[in-house]
Amino acid sequence: MAFGLTAVLFVSACSGGNDNGLPEESLTPAPTQTTDSVVIPTPSATPVAYEGEQNTYGDLLAALKAAYPAANWTQSSKAEDQINNSEVSYRSKDSCSMYGYPSFQTALDNDLGSYGDFWTTLGSFGQLGAILISAESCVEKTATVVNYPVTVQPGADSNVLTASKENINDCLLRLSSCFLDEGATLPERTSSSFNKALTELDELAKAGFCVDPYFSGGSGGLNSCEASTDHPGVQEGDYITEVSMDLDILREAASSPSAQRFGKYMIYGDGWALFITGSTEAYKQTFIEMNKVINGTLVAKY
């Protein structure tokens, strides 16, 4: 299984004009070029179609009961017990909560990584998607029937996906299917493989893109600065956000363009991704100018 994509493959799967070239090169306009003529590559995101046995939510409930009978699983029919657009909700007596979705992609698009005081665990059951909110013991006891690509402590033989530029490219193209390759394991929730200080935010602050010129990005996690409204499209209260945790970056790259959870534009490199939540076409020039400062790969997700 190959996770890395060459630059040629990435561009061949992107839509845009004839001046695309490498993603990085296509984002720097010539002196006579106007912003409107700059083509920002848009990955032709295509999830892999599921070809296995078709399961029902009833099959999922039966499998949970068989795998973990002591939990006394029950289905809730209350609308308030559904979260993040889930279609079904199953509860156990030891406070495990399983939410069902029509596909793994739909589950990923609705997975925020946490819910209240709990982490979420993304899973698949045949063609169905699932989000489990529970203690880790529930993950272990249901893992025989639900495929959880995220594990708390990957084994020594696991091929743990990191937020390398190649893997980000792969997820942008294949969406959630990049999580389900045989032998692949998603990183721990707080893993930051590149141990990267968020220097891109420092550079953008110095260049006048942040309201606070003395903003300093820390290492790991998620940092943001309030964006200056002096730049095209930026609205008061917008934040430029940079992420360096592997799972957050990969989840962003693998989310459906139609979900538009992170906005239209994204800039990324090895171990980091930067975006403005809710960005639209009106932000195009701002992202082009920001990328001139930080020299990442700029793409439009839709």
- Note the pLDDT tens digit of each residue in 121-166: 999 999 999 999 876 678 888 999 999 886 545 455 568 889 999 9
Domain boundaries, the chain: 57-148, 191-300
Select the more confidently predicted residue: 137 or 219: 137
Question: How confident is the model at residue 116, as a pLDDT?
Answer: 74
**CA-to-CA separations, 42 to 19, 35, 172, 185, 272, in angstroms, rounded:** 13, 16, 9, 27, 19
How far is residue 156's CA from residue 243's CA, in Å, rounded to a whole number? 26
Residue 3: pLDDT band with limits 50, 70, 90: very low
Could you report the per-residue pLDDT of 222-271, keeping only the tens digit for each? 688 999 999 999 999 999 999 988 999 999 999 998 887 789 999 999 99
Band of residue 16 on the pLDDT scale cut at 50, 70, 90: very low
Computed from CA positions of residues 12, 13, 17, 19, in that sequence, does the dihedral angle turn out positive or negative? negative
Is residue 76 within 8 A of residue 91, CB to CB? The reply is: yes
- Judged by phi (left if over 0) then psi (alpha if -120 to 50, else beta), residue 278 lies in left
Cα 229 versus chain centre, distance: 27
- What's the distance, CA 277 to chain centroid? 13
CB-based burial of residue 25 (10 Å sphere; 0-12 exposed, 13-18 middle, 19+ buried)?
Answer: exposed
Of residues 151, 153, 114, 152, the one with CA closest to residue 131: 114
SS3 of the chain: helix, strand, coil, percent, to 5: 30, 20, 45
Bridging pattern class, strands 184-185 and 159-160: parallel
- CB-CB neighbours of 220 under 10 Å: 18
3-state secondary structure of 34: coil
* CB 86, CB 159: distance < 8 Å: no
Interval 211-228 mean pLDDT: 71
Whether the CB-CB separation of 188 and 154 falls below 8 Å is answered with: yes
Considering all CA atoms of the chain, what is the largest pairwise distance in Å, rounded to the nearest integer? 70
E strand map for 183-283: 184-185, 222-226, 239-243, 265-269, 272-276
Q: Which of 24-28, 51-55, 135-139 has the highest mean pLDDT?
A: 51-55
pLDDT on residue 113: 81
